[in-house]
Amino acid sequence: MTAQWHCYLLECADGTLYTGITNDLEKRLAAHNNGTASKYTRSRLPVQLVYAEPHADRAAASRREMAVKRLPRTTKLALLRYNSS
């Protein structure tokens, strides 16, 4: 069985959003909050997982990550609101 990949969004302590991919959300979130996952989030702790979507493989998750990173902040926030309702 292959690992399921996720594209995820974190909300940082300063209110910014961070987009990434992982095949282990719990472990990756812990790494972010330990300051070992990303230079960007290291100085913006703590971070909170606010959105995650599953993908069949790493390639699909990476394509979605790039698409989400290109979105303006307002569209990312709308994505969060839409998926929380």
pLDDT at 8: 97
* CA dihedral over 29, 50, 72, 16, signed as positive or negative: negative
**Distance of CA 82 to CAs 51, 75, 85, Å?**
11, 10, 6
pLDDT at 85: 62
Q: Look-up: residue for tokens 């989030």?
A: 41
Does this model's pTM top 0.85? My answer is yes
What topology does CATH give the domain 5-84? Answer: GIY-YIG endonuclease (3.40.1440)
Q: Would you list the domain boundaries of the chain?
A: 5-84
- What are 38-56's pLDDT values in tens digits? 999 999 999 999 999 999 9
